[in-house]
Structure 1
Amino acid sequence: MIATRHLPKRSMHQTDLFLLAMLLILAVPYLLWRLGRTEYVAPLVVVQIVCGILLGPGVLGAAFPAYYATVFDPGVIQALNGIAWWAVMVFVWIAGIELDLGQVWRQRRECGITAGLALGVPLLFGALAAMALLHWRDGWIGPHGARWQFVMGVGMACAVTALPILLLLMEKLAILRQPFGQRVLRYASLDDVAIWAVLAMILVDWQRIGLQLVFLVLFVPVAWAFRRLMHRLPAADRWYVGLIWLALCALAADRAGLHFMVGAFLAGAVTDRDSFDGPTLDLLRHHVLLVVMPVFFLSTGLRTHWSVGGGAVFAAAGLLLVAEVVGKLAGVHLAARWLGWSRGEAWLVGWLLQTKALIMIIFVNVLLDRGIITGDTFTALLLMAVASTMLTVPMVAPRLQRLRAAG
């Protein structure tokens, strides 16, 4: 009784609000996904992203401002952001580990042509859409963004393929372990590397370029030493040391003027995939998605804004969606003609590479953090990513069924 009487009331209040926020984060998407049976169009991950938008200031905050301000007060948001940062760093680290660049190198001609066109053409279309937005009205470019950074960033957001979501969707379509599915993964893996390379280029700070060069120069020998160390450690110790390596790389990259997400990806990309047991790594990815990534989706939704007007944001999202869909399909069809693919393959590959969601959202979060884009641009890109990902299975599944029936 005495101990309870002396507990700070504000601390108890903050705890209750945090748990209420966690209840909303976990319960609302699950109930919508399960009761609405959205799995065909929108997996649980996509529903969680949509719910993050609905629970954000643009929808819940606009409809019930007093309630929103009470539940998501600054203390709660700060606590949620801390969880979200670590969750997404671990997720990006795992994505880097899972890259199979050796297989890409063995098929380098096909992968280089396909991945290059599948990335380059939608990047061009997205960049043109970004320039159209800048000519249309103000409110899209961030306070610290140069025009070239904005155009390149939005263009790259249109070109991104989310490798983790692609894995989930191909698993559901029963093509993940088939030769065709492995081909698509190789294309997406190469694009995944390009995404982070372009992000590093966008984030180059000319006032801190020397520090960034020092980071990159020192990273090579340290990464080599880390790989050798991992092979000498017992299997049980590698997981813990891997997480220490992740935190170190993220901190070093952030202090050098790059974003901590660049460091997290590099930490995974230089890690030998054979250092970890494959099924356990898959299980870790699923557990991260289950336990902590919903917090990242909610924190992403809390950053959505509609200050230039809801109609303008939706129009921008529609323009970006058309640019990325047409660009991706056009790029893959060019590759198909060049490489002599069989009829129908370009359509399937093009739509599978439309999946965006997680990696693209992480990418634009970084752009928003650095002031390159505004909250309105972020919201438009988020809506585009959700729509693009939701279109993938409905466009691919019928064609796959017809091919299986014909075969």
Structure 2
Amino acid sequence: MGGQVTAPGDAATYARPFTRGRLLAGYVGVLAFLVGAVVLSLILGHREHAQPAVGGKYSSTSACLSKFTLQQSGTFVDASGPGSTGGKLRLEHHRLKGHVTCSGGEGAALDVPVPTSEPKTLSGTLNGQAFQATFTEALPPPGASAKKPPKRSGEETFGRLMLAIAAVILAARLVGTALGKIGQPRVMGEVLAGILLGPTLLGAVWPAAKDYLFPADIVPLLSGAAQIGLAFYLFLVGMELDPRLLRVNAARAAFVSNTSVAFPMALGMLVAAPIYRLLAPHKDYLPFALFMGVSMSITAFPVLARILVEKRMLKRPVGALAMASAAIDDVTAWTLLAFATAVASASSSLGWLKVVGLAAAFTIGLVVVVRPLLARIAVAYDEVGYVPQLWIGTIFVGVLLAAYVSRQIGIAAIFGAFVMGLIMPRHAGLTSDVSRRLEDFVTMVLLPLFFVVTGLKTQIGSLNRPILWLLCVLLIGVAVAGKWFGAMFAARWGGMRLRDSAAFGALMNTRGLTELIVLNIGLDLGLISHALFTMLVVMALVTTFMAGPALRLLDPKEELSAPPEEEFRRARLEGPVPETIVPQRSIIVAPQDDTSVDALIALGEPLARSQPARELILVRLVRSSRSAACTPAQSRSRHPTRAPISSASRPSRTSTS
């Protein structure tokens, strides 16, 4: 089981076979480490308590702080107000302390006790004098503008929305192209463009332009379109996962994938204990720790696939194993995320069991009931050579309904869209046809909107203390140690040589877009604070950008990549077959039943071999099923010179001379 790979070049990659005993011992060790880390995390976290929520807008009668806003990320609280009013405060042991700058420019010491429940009034001392502030308004959602949206007509709103979308697409194309020229995945350039359009760069350098492009009434529209894009993007990811990736070295791929998820998840749950006290919002520890574990264990399957293609590693042992492991990783990650959101959304301590049960029933229902219905799409495709519009509409509606049901159950909406993609028929032509109709619009228009919505939530300026940057570096270190070294250890245990194992770990450390999706879900559910969200976004960018340089350092001679001439030969072999010269005259054989086929061919073949040469065409009538039904107008528009026929009924041509 899990023996040596037989593909060329494997002897240089795998130093020893992956025996059943080695596989079992590896799983026992990984499971013991994961269980031990989870138990230790829960023991440590059980004693910790998140700080009460004090974020919001306040007013007081004090001349120093008459109107001010508190932005909270765990124990770190930033006060801001008109003019130079502001300060950096700490909330520890239910006391809010620190120095603030008053509206007149003078400094003052603030000391306010904070009750366990969310306070409506803050009462304490300011510069030794009695101080009382009243809560007036909640803060806007992350990424939304604090300014009240202006009143616009429908046409004006539409125009501003089109301007925002055009700016996002243009920035994504420019930055994506620029990063592509220096060897980075273009999609990461698009991610970076979205972040630069937010308060991190544009909002800091030219805030008026940022507010004009993304006013308060336009951001929710962008967010809604981005969520639609995410649903269809995850549908495409699920549909394009190829089960054939797992047929070679299935045991090895499953082991290294599971280990590369278990190691970072264990470390993520361990680091959750100290992070919870410092940066967590007012949430229970268990969902927070689960989310930290999931966020550390992500591998971006689409970004990894693009890197492997660009590096010509897809057909090589290291690249093939990385692709198979990332495919398993993807399914595991979305399942774990669904579990984490179920725990976070549960209304009681055991409510998550109900959510998990409903999610399992929903998934089984999709597989048992919906999948056989979708199998008829393959029949329709075979009969007409494309997916009819009726079925395309059915697929779109199915994706949206699956996302809706997932959210109603209490898990992430994109989980339903992803499962919908997984149960699609595995048919190369069908997958290509559906992807062709969806992919360009989703990846060029809708996904960049998600990047800019993420960028509007990301504020590098919120990491305004040395300790916050130290915590950011700590999280990056934990992420790299868990994913890179965890995957490297798993590959090494699976028999891979040291250099190749290190390259495999660098590939699996790619988080990219998938990590950003997970982080946005965590922020929307209130599982992570604003500063922690920014730290994890930085971690996702760093771990993805480091993949290319790490591969160049580990494999400077590109021994893990296919030579360019080999890729050229493969492209020629896999390319379109040149058209043969078809004789001008033909002989059509149209039997009424199968019993007369041989006799008619025996009569027609000598005539076809005579001079001049004739083409022998065998025609068989196949009646179209209702699943391939389309209107006559559609048929004429797609095939102006002939009626649509199935692949089985198309003439089989045999040229003879």
Per-residue CA deviation, residues 355-404 of structure 1 (Å, 9 max, x unaligned), is 11111111111111111112221111111111111111111135444253
1:219–1:125 distance in 2 versus 1, CA, 3 Å: closer
Per the TM alignment, residue 123 of structure 1 is displaced from its structure 2 partner at its CA by: 1.9
Task: Give the partner amino acid of 2:174.
Answer: L
Residue in 2 that maps onto 1:4: none
Residue in 2 that maps onto 1:295: 449
1:57–1:312 distance in 2 versus 1, CA, 3 Å: farther
SS in 2 for 1:272: coil
1:221 pairs with 2:379: no
Selected match of 1:77 from 219, 225, 230? 219
Residue in 2 that maps onto 1:174: 312
Residues 80 and 295, structure 1, Cα contact 8 Å, conserved in 2: yes
SS in 1 for 2:217: helix
Once the two structures are overlaid, the 10-residue window that deviates more, 369-378 or 50-59, is 50-59
For 1:351-370, what aligned pairs fall within 5 Å after superposition? 351-370=506-525
Residue in 2 that maps onto 1:141: 280
1:324 pairs with 2:479: yes
Per-residue CA deviation, residues 22-55 of structure 1 (Å, 9 max, x unaligned), is 2321222333344x45533433211121121222
1:349–1:68 distance in 2 versus 1, CA, 3 Å: same
Selected match of 1:350 from 483, 505, 523? 505
1:169–1:282 distance in 2 versus 1, CA, 3 Å: farther
Per the TM alignment, residue 202 of structure 1 is displaced from its structure 2 partner at its CA by: 1.0
Residue in 2 that maps onto 1:155: 293
Task: Give the partner amino acid of 2:346.
Answer: W
Uncovered stretches (5+) of structure 1, i.e. residues with no partner: 1-7
Tell me the distance in 2 between the aligned counterparts of 1:131 and 1:124. Answer: 12
Selected match of 1:88 from 230, 250, 253? 230
SS in 2 for 1:351: helix
Once the two structures are overlaid, the 10-residue window that deviates more, 348-357 or 275-284, is 275-284
Q: Find the structure with the greater CA-based Rg.
A: 2
Per the TM alignment, residue 81 of structure 1 is displaced from its structure 2 partner at its CA by: 1.0
SS in 2 for 1:404: coil
Residues 21 and 72, structure 1, Cα contact 8 Å, conserved in 2: yes
Residues 179 and 185, structure 2, Cα contact 8 Å, conserved in 1: no
1:304 pairs with 2:458: yes
SS in 2 for 1:402: coil
Tell me the distance in 2 between the aligned counterparts of 1:249 and 1:9. Answer: 34
Tell me the distance in 2 between the aligned counterparts of 1:202 and 1:266. Answer: 17
Residue in 1 that maps onto 2:173: 30
Task: Give the partner amino acid of 1:256.
Answer: I
Residue in 1 that maps onto 2:241: 99
Task: Give the partner amino acid of 1:113.
Answer: F
Tell me the distance in 2 between the aligned counterparts of 1:223 and 1:38. Answer: 39
For 1:14-25, what aligned pairs fall within 5 Å after superposition? 14-25=157-168
Once the two structures are overlaid, the 10-residue window that deviates more, 294-303 or 325-334, is 325-334
Task: Give the partner amino acid of 2:341.
Answer: L
Residues 97 and 268, structure 1, Cα contact 8 Å, conserved in 2: yes
SS in 2 for 1:19: helix
Residues 264 and 479, structure 2, Cα contact 8 Å, conserved in 1: yes
1:314–1:182 distance in 2 versus 1, CA, 3 Å: same
Residues 41 and 391, structure 1, Cα contact 8 Å, conserved in 2: no
Tell me the distance in 2 between the aligned counterparts of 1:314 and 1:77. Answer: 29
TM-score, normalised by the number of residues in structure 2: 0.56
Tell me the distance in 2 between the aligned counterparts of 1:211 and 1:339. Answer: 36
Per the TM alignment, residue 307 of structure 1 is displaced from its structure 2 partner at its CA by: 4.1
1:80–1:31 distance in 2 versus 1, CA, 3 Å: same
1:352–1:58 distance in 2 versus 1, CA, 3 Å: same
SS in 1 for 2:444: helix
Q: CA RMSD in A?
A: 2.7
TM-score, normalised by the number of residues in structure 1: 0.87
Selected match of 2:426 from 265, 273, 285? 273
Tell me the distance in 1 between the aligned counterparts of 2:509 and 2:363. Answer: 33
- Return the structure number with greater strand share: 2
Tell me the distance in 1 between the aligned counterparts of 2:442 and 2:153. Answer: 31
Task: Give the partner amino acid of 2:376.
Answer: R
1:76–1:397 distance in 2 versus 1, CA, 3 Å: same
Per-residue CA deviation, residues 42-99 of structure 1 (Å, 9 max, x unaligned), is 3321112112122213433344444433331222112111210111111111111222
Residue in 2 that maps onto 1:244: 397
Once the two structures are overlaid, the 10-residue window that deviates more, 291-300 or 280-289, is 280-289
Residue in 2 that maps onto 1:195: 333
Per the TM alignment, residue 258 of structure 1 is displaced from its structure 2 partner at its CA by: 1.3
Task: Give the partner amino acid of 1:141.
Answer: A
Once the two structures are overlaid, the 10-residue window that deviates more, 391-400 or 81-90, is 391-400
Q: Taking CA–CA contacts closer than 8 Å with sequence separation of 6 or more, which of the two structures ends up with the larger relative contact order?
A: 1
Per the TM alignment, residue 269 of structure 1 is displaced from its structure 2 partner at its CA by: 2.1
